[in-house]
A and B are shown apart, each in its own frame.
Chain A
């Protein structure tokens, strides 16, 4: 609690005691004096502000309206009500400030990943500077327990890193020389020397902080609705209050200004739309915070709102539903043994950097003997020929081997097939497959539970591979053989089909699908941490590479929106009810105080639930 809030609390307590003392059976003047003392103690600030704002032409200022209501109550001889209005108004203000501070603090703590300093090696000395002052290519030293200040590559040392702040992943990660490290991680065990690759402002930690801090400036439609509503609500209520005080007593000819004045006062007390104006942004703020605690960074409240209306979720295949890591799944030799074929394959691919070559060498598990390899000729995208020992070996796709005039037995196993020939004779093939992510199927099931009607997969791969992955994950529809432009076209078709049904979400890894991310209603980049393009192009960034975060995000969005709607219905319902009763003469000032302060407190408590929604992931 800050200083001014503490001061306000003290004032409220003393004023409340004075107010209660006023109800003791004392002479009337004593009672009145106690009430006035209580009123001035708790209300003088409000009255001062009211005058100050009045001179600036702010008639519909809440301070002025509260002052006016309480003056009116005093004039009507409703002393205890006058004090109560002021006292409870301040209690409401106190509670609001307290709740807002608490939730600001809990988000700030969550985002406490900003590194305070960097140790830079300059000459022979190590100097401590602020991270902004470090240039690209400088060497920084990170000791155990320190936070990595800038993105870079390890040039000396090895350690384990706590990446929980970035990815939500609790398992520490082992790193060694040549590994890339991201700012925001905590170095746990060894001393690391890192060559910086980016300036601080472009480093991961800055990007994440910017994204989260700016998220609440992109408002949801429901927030804008409330702001617009608030603009008209106060003037409308005040005008009706004025009419209520003057018109009926004159029109009816009763000149009963006391009764109608009382009714007008109940209106003034309910004239502040505070409960709504504060609780709706508070709910969204809590929802965004809860999502980032789950490793889901959402760029704006508007996307949270859109997520809640998700109808179709479209996945990219490679790197999103699958790991994007290739693995040898089958070896089909022809006239030689499996081990011989694998050995030949590893040798012919020994110098290639293609992911397929890497997966074959990994399956071989030994270092190829470079001495036996000669005359290597690689034709990118097609194949390789080389001399291994005394044999002429060729490896490549079906067309490549057939093009050499060799008869090939085509293999129909789903996956990417590499065909081999030894001395112009077919020697078999090796099938390489991408692995599906462990939680892909569970994520699709969870999406259905969350009410998503359709799941779609897009891939540039062959149809049989697409079919296999789609059925393993439980995806409704898949489209294969798509070039990047074809993916954009498919998204456009889906957007057209779903225009009236709900939002279309696209989930990709953000590496080469930026146009699709941008074109869809909501673009989600998965495992996007460390990739500038992904953070730039996507509306939502999932820090880990688990597709199961998507149903979690939708669940948080739905619950946040539900809380916001509950607050709108509850707050407006009670206000209009009491306004109606007040106009008819059935609501006391006490009821109006409840409709103002009580509703605020309840709405804020409800909104605070959004902060705890991270338990949904």
Chain B
């Protein structure tokens, strides 16, 4: 399953890269990609999406506190 989310206020390219790396390392995530230019997060997973998104939210809050995930 592939899902795309918008990341609002993602202002720093390096943070986008950091978020991408951290999300990729969550267990159950097959692939993840953060596009700084389109401010989009794409997640591919077979696991429970809600559980993964809770972890993603935490990662985003740590790396870029101003950034918000739009569902």
Contacts and interface: CB of A to CB of B under 8 A. Distances in A.
Interface of A: 52-53, 56-58, 62, 96-97, 100, 103-104, 213-214, 216-219, 227, 230-231, 272-274, 277-278, 281-282, 285
26 contacts: A53-B65, A58-B63, A62-B14, A103-B37, A104-B37, A213-B38, A214-B40, A214-B42, A216-B35, A216-B38, A217-B33, A217-B38, A227-B21, A230-B14, A230-B17, A231-B17, A272-B14, A273-B14, A274-B13, A277-B13, A277-B17, A278-B36, A281-B13, A281-B35, A282-B37, A285-B38
Given A56-B62, A227-B20, A217 B13 contact: no
Nearest to B64: A53
List the 9 shortest-distance A-B pairs measured between CB atoms, nearest first: A278-B13, A285-B37, A216-B35, A277-B13, A217-B33, A227-B17, A217-B42, A217-B35, A277-B14
B70 to A, nearest CB: 14
B38 to A, nearest CB: 5
A218 B42 CA distance: 10
Contacts of A213: 38, 40
Given A227-B20, A231-B21, A281 B36 contact: yes
Nearest to B32: A217
B56 to A, nearest CB: 15
A100 B37 CA distance: 7
Q: Is the interface of B mostly helix, strand, loop or mixed?
A: mixed
A58 B60 CA distance: 13
A274 B42 CA distance: 22
B4 A214 contact: yes
Contacts, number: 55
B33 A218 contact: yes
Which among A56, A57, A217, A219 has the greatest number of chain B C-beta atoms within 10 A? A217
B8 interface: no
A91 B40 CA distance: 26
Which among A97, A213, A219, A277 has the greatest number of chain B C-beta atoms within 10 A? A277
Contacts of A282: 37
A32 B36 CA distance: 39
B11 interface: yes
Given A217-B40, A227-B21, A272-B14, 18 more contacts: A58-B62, A58-B63, A62-B14, A96-B13, A104-B38, A213-B38, A214-B42, A216-B35, A217-B4, A218-B33, A219-B33, A230-B14, A273-B14, A274-B13, A274-B14, A278-B13, A281-B36, A285-B38
Q: Is the interface of A mostly helix, strand, loop or mixed?
A: helix
Contact of B11 (A56, A58, A97, A103): A97
Contacts of A219: 33
Interface of B: 4, 11-14, 17, 20-21, 33, 35-38, 40, 42, 62-63, 65
A227 B63 CA distance: 15
A52 B64 CA distance: 11
B1 to A, nearest CB: 15
B51 to A, nearest CB: 22
B22 to A, nearest CB: 11
B33 to A, nearest CB: 4
Nearest to B61: A56
B57 to A, nearest CB: 14
Given A62-B14, A278-B13, A281-B13, A52 B35 contact: no
Nearest to A272: B14
A413 B36 CA distance: 58
A218 B12 CA distance: 19
Contacts of B20: 227
Nearest to A286: B37
B60 to A, nearest CB: 12
B8 to A, nearest CB: 12
A307 to B, nearest CB: 19
A217 B33 CA distance: 6
A58 B13 CA distance: 16
B62 A216 contact: no
A219 B42 CA distance: 12
A230 B11 CA distance: 17
B36 to A, nearest CB: 5
Contacts of A103: 37
A336 B65 CA distance: 87
A272 B17 CA distance: 13
A277 B11 CA distance: 12
Contacts of B62: 56-58
Contacts of B37: 100, 103-104, 216, 281-282, 285
Nearest to A216: B35
B21 to A, nearest CB: 7
Contacts of B36: 100, 278, 281
